Amino acid sequence: MQALSPPPSSSSLSSSIVGTSRRRRPPTGPLVVHCIHRSYDSVNFPAGVVSSRSDWQSSCAILSSKVVGQEQPPENSIASVNGHKTIDLDLVPSSNNGNRPLPLQKPLTITDLAPAPMHGSQLRVAYQGVPGAYSEAAAGKAYPKCEAIPCDQFEVAFQAVELWIADRAVLPVENSLGGSIHRNYDLLLRHRLHIVGEVQLPVHHCLMALPGVRKEYITRVISHPQALAQCEHTLTKLGLQAAREAVDDTAGAAEYIAANNLRDTAAIASARAAELYGMQILADGIQDDCGNVTRFVMLAREPIIPRTDRPFKTSIVFAHDKGTSVLFKVLSAFAFRNINLTKIESRPHRNRPIRLVDDANVGTAKHFEYLFYVDFEASMAEVRAQNALAEVQEFASFLRVLGSYPMDMTPWSPSGGD
Ligand SMILES: O=C(O)C(=O)C[C@]1(C(=O)O)C=C[C@@H](O)C=C1
């Protein structure tokens, strides 16, 4: 795999897209963290939408126009959005004022408008981690012939798509054992990318160390916090007297041990990571449950056109200002239309974390405010979904459709293990 460097015009940006073999980092403390645009934290979204979001969008536009100017097609080129670089999108031919033949105009088809899968040109897919990470495998499952682009943190994967360095990002959102990956829920809201698909990946973990190292020598186990959580009981059962330490990604843990010749440290990572970094597998299938599966979402700059000819899922996020009592009414908008909810997640409402309720007699109650992320099994092309959202909107102070996309219907194959 080839490491992608930021375009020359982005010299003011940090080099955050990581390559295959260059990164060496300590397993403790913050790992390499390079944000392309650090003013995210000051983006007050959704409450402060008007000023700060427009600031953010204009800075982003400047950054992305630099990138576009150097090596990318213009933002309004559908052909490049979808990777069909050979299609001429000059839809209105200018007058033929020379004897120059007019370019042949091919009508756009539905596949030109659908962002995936690609036909011919290689799709660039950003993921968090280094080669051998599960996210890389998920990128390969979602887009089989893609060029997977490693990024050192989730936020960078979002930015890589926004700045046209990548066409898609594939990011984990939940795991069957470890639960939700909250960071990505928060980032979905802060960025303007659209969910265009999902993949579920069975996650099969291995315990690995340098060749010749025996289990008894291991004093610490390093991995991604989700992977450590997914193997917690098995690690205890294996009788390891080892401290657990969290690092940015599973494969990065294996890479770090190999690069620093650590003979007292083991990593939890994939068999592919063991192979890539010359590690020896000490135990295979150490996840606590053989049904260990992580769900990833695919993100793009443009939404896809929702359809009704196959099962679709829609993801939304909303807030309301009447406390959680309204939640029942909101959710019943789906129940009355027989729309199945597959997930509900609440996150702190960053811009309005507390709602104060004054009662002169007893004091001031401080209620926490939440944003609710809901996935439901229907396409936005269906009238019942449109009606349900119209009803939700009546109760919501804020509502955004994150995406309406085909459900992953691949047959279930568990990851193995005990
Ligand atoms: O560290 C990796 O290999 C990742 O791809 C990240 C990640 C995660 O964030 O949940 C992905 C799948 C597994 O659940 C464990 C870790």
Q: What is the atom index within ligand 1 of the atom nearest the CA of 249?
A: 1
Q: pLDDT (tens digit, 9 = 90+) per residue, 294-338? A: 999 999 999 999 999 999 999 999 988 766 668 888 899 999 999
- ipTM above 0.90 for this complex: yes
Q: Whose CA is nearest to atom 12 of ligand 1?
A: 134
Ligand 1 touching residue 235 (CB < 6 A): no
Q: What is the pLDDT of residue 379?
A: 98
Averaged pLDDT of the chain? 76
Average pLDDT over residues 202-220: 96
Q: What is the pLDDT of residue 356?
A: 56
The answer on pLDDT for 73 being more than 80 is no
Ligand 1 touching residue 200 (CB < 6 A): no
The answer on pLDDT for 37 being more than 70 is no
Ligand 1 touching residue 223 (CB < 6 A): no
CA dist., res. 309 & res. 312, Å (int): 9
Q: What is the pLDDT of residue 358?
A: 65
Type of residue numbered 258: A
Identify whether 294 is a catalytic site residue.
Answer: yes
More confident residue, 310 or 89: 310
Contact 147, 168 (CB under 8 A): no
Type of residue numbered 241: Q
Average pLDDT over residues 12-27: 39
Tell me the range of 2-11, 201-210, 314-323 where mean pLDDT is highest. Answer: 201-210
Q: How confident is the model at residue 352 (pLDDT cuts 50, 70, 90)?
A: low
Identify whether 296 is a catalytic site residue.
Answer: yes
Q: How confident is the model at residue 48 (pLDDT cuts 50, 70, 90)?
A: very low
Q: How confident is the model at residue 164 (pLDDT cuts 50, 70, 90)?
A: very high
Ligand 1 touching residue 255 (CB < 6 A): no
Catalytic residue (choose from 234, 250, 265, 294)? 294
* Percent with pLDDT over 90 in the chain: 56
Q: What is the pLDDT of residue 355?
A: 59
Report CA(401)–ligand 1 centroid distance (Å).
25
User: Could you tell me the two tokens for 365?
Assistant: 């109650």
CA dist., res. 166 & res. 388, Å (int): 34
What CA–CA distances, in Å, run from 323 to 232, 320, 361, 373?
Answer: 36, 7, 21, 15
